[in-house]
Structure 1
Amino acid sequence: MLFEVDSAKPSAWSMTLGAVAHIVHKVGIPPARLEVLAWGPGLQMLLKNAPDAMEITILQMRGVRFVACQTSMRRLHITARQLAPGVSVVAGGMAELMKRHNEGWAEVKM
């Protein structure tokens, strides 16, 4: 399942991280494969000093993949060094979304 987040609103990230944690707890990884894609203003929540950085780290340790859109990073002047440890960078958020869709992933826009 791919969670797409383009908002820096704490409520959007709280809902996203809560849903991801719930799936990890109820289903486990594997069999679930979970990815959180952040783009646009949503990138702010993947920075090292973001309020949910510790929760993101914990979910990464449990197998959740967090990815940042490089196109948005360039537009917002965010470097890879500013991202929380373990966050992957993909060339484009929409390309990642299409790739996962074509692989049969379910998508949730948060």
Structure 2
Amino acid sequence: MLFEVDSAKPSAWTMTLGAVTHIVHKVGIPPARLEVLAWGPGLQMLLKNAPDAMEITILQMRGVRFVACQTSMRRLHITARQLAPGVNVVAGGMAELMKRHNEGWAEVKM
């Protein structure tokens, strides 16, 4: 399942991380494959000093993949060094979304 987040609103991230945590606890990884794609203002929540950085790290240790859109990073002047450890960078958020869609992933826009 791919969770797409383009909002820096804390409520969007609370809902996203809550849903991901719920799936991890109820289904497990594997069989679930979970990815959180952040782009635009949503990138703010993947920074090292973001309020949910520790929760993101814990979810990564459980197998959740967090990815940042490089196109948005350039536009917002965010470097890979500013991202929380373990966050992957993809060339484009929309390309990642299309790739996962073509692989049959379910998508949730948060």
TM-score, normalization: structure 1?
A: 1.00
Distance 1:10 1:83 in 2: 17
Q: Percent identity?
A: 97
Give the C-alpha shift of residue 18 in structure 1: 0.1
Aligned Cα root-mean-square deviation (Å): 0.1
Count of aligned positions? 110
Encode CA deviations 1:8-41: one digit per residue, 9 max, x unaligned: 0000000000000000000000000000000000
CA distance in 2 between partners of 1:92 and 1:21 (Å): 25
Deviation of the 1:58 alpha carbon: 0.2
Report SS of the residue matched to 1:49: coil
State the SS of the aligned residue for 1:20: helix
Runs in 1 of length 4+ with deviation above 2 angstroms? none
TM normalised by structure 2 equals 1.00
Q: Secondary structure at the match of 1:4?
A: strand
Determine helix, strand or coil for the equivalent of 1:108: strand
How many Å apart are 1:44 and its aligned residue?
A: 0.1
Task: Quote the Cα distance in structure 2 between the aligned partners of 1:73 and 1:29.
Answer: 29
Aligned residue for 1:13, secondary structure, equals: helix
Deviations 1:64-105 (A, max 9, x none): 000000000000000000000000000000000000000000
Question: Residue 85 of structure 2: SS of its match in structure 1?
Answer: coil
